[in-house]
């Protein structure tokens, strides 16, 4: 029953990416860990592939509408993808399975990944609930692109993407609007391109490390997510992403708190 629900939930990953340009990995990792019974570290690898491939499909629509800024994607994305590659290829494989003890708790690599992911979820929820309300009012024509902060933000996103397999669209979109002065719709399209490249670089790094993947599962799950992103793209003409985003933010906040309690209780 849980596995069936997991496959059904894959549609939500795609719909979320299609409507919001972010949030796919926020859903994919809890779905795979808690519904599909997949190890957290392997779930981050699967998330990178599923979200990356789905984002490639989603970005086509935005690119055809001239809503993808390749130059900005490079400025933001190159430091980000380099960070993802270094973390997935060199850092994560070298971390021991058990890191340290805190009182009665033994902090394993799996636990650390899930707790960091829960923190990321809560940061994402705050970003979705609060920050997006003012993004459409930014004066795009008055300020220059702030390259150094953009590169730093790219490094931050690369760190989170590398460790927990998250695309980081909720961090990327505000940065593209506030630092790069992109209009909201163009920020969403550019975000999808950055997410796609980051995710596939991260997944490729795992391939180089000979991580075992269940390709049949990946094919089925990703195919369902792609159907979801096509549905999400269609729904953008009927549903306002700006109105949906705060509600999704509250949902993510609840999920983040649930992950914390779930992980600490079982340990």
Q: Are 24 and 48 in contact (CB under 8 A)?
A: no
Containing 14, the helix (H) or strand (E) segment is helix 2-20
Taking the CA atoms of 156, 160, 163 and 165 in sequence, report the sign of the dihedral they define. negative
Among 59-68, 80-89, 116-125, which range has the highest average pLDDT? 80-89
pLDDT, residue 142, reads: 47
For residue 178, which phi and psi values (nearest 5 degrees)? Answer: -75, -40
Tell me the C-alpha distance between 183 and 166, whole Å.
24
Q: Would the pLDDT of 82 be above 90?
A: yes
Number of domains in the chain: 1
pLDDT, residue 4, reads: 82
The per-residue DSSP string of 139-206 comes to -TTTS---HHHHHHHHHHHHHHHHHH----HHHHHHHHHHTT---HHHHHHHHHHHHHHHHHHHHHHH
Among 7-11, 19-23, 163-167, 198-202, which range has the highest average pLDDT? 198-202
Compute CA distances 67 → 26, 116, 140, whole Å.
24, 32, 15
Q: Would the pLDDT of 134 be above 90?
A: no
Q: Are 57 and 226 in contact (CB under 8 A)?
A: yes
pTM reported for the whole predicted model = 0.86
Tell me the C-alpha distance between 166 and 178, whole Å.
21
Q: Are 49 and 203 in contact (CB under 8 A)?
A: yes
Structural domain boundaries enclosing 250: 2-266
HEC secondary structure over 245-260:
HHHHHHHHHHHHHHHH
Containing 106, the helix (H) or strand (E) segment is strand 105-108
pLDDT, residue 216, reads: 92
The per-residue DSSP string of 20-73 comes to HS--HHHHHHHIIIIIS---HHHHHHHHHHHHHHHHHHHHHHHHHTT---HHHH
Q: Would the pLDDT of 231 be above 80?
A: yes
């Amino acid at each position: 029953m849980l596995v069936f629900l997991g496959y059904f939930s894959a549609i939500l990953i795609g719909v979320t990416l299609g409507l919001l340009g972010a949030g796919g990995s926020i859903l994919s990792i809890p779905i795979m860990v808690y519904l599909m019974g997949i190890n957290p570290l392997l779930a981050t690898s699967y998330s990178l592939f599923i979200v990356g491939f789905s984002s490639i499909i989603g970005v086509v629509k935005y690119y055809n509408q001239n809503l993808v800024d390749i130059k900005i994607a490079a400025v933001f994305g190159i430091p980000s993808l380099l960070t993802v590659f270094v973390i997935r290829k060199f850092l994560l494989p070298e971390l021991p399975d058990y890191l340290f003890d805190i009182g009665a708790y033994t902090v394993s690599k799996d636990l650390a990944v899930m707790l960091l992911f829960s923190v990321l979820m809560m940061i994402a929820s705050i970003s979705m609930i609060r920050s997006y309300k003012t993004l459409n009012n930014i004066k795009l024509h008055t300020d220059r692109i702030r390259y150094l902060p953009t590169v730093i933000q790219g490094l931050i996103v690369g760190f989170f993407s590398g460790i927990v397999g998250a695309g980081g669209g909720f961090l990327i979109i505000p940065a593209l609007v506030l630092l790069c002065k992109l209009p909201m719709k163009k920020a969403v399209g550019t975000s999808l391109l950055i997410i796609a490249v980051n995710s596939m670089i991260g997944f490729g790094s795992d391939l180089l490390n000979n991580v075992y993947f269940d390709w049949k599962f990946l094919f089925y799950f990703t195919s369902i997510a792609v159907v979801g992103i096509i549905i999400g793209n269609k729904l953008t003409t009927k549903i306002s992403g700006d109105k949906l985003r705060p509600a999704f933010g509250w949902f993510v906040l609840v999920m983040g708190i649930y992950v914390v309690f779930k992980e600490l209780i079982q340990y």
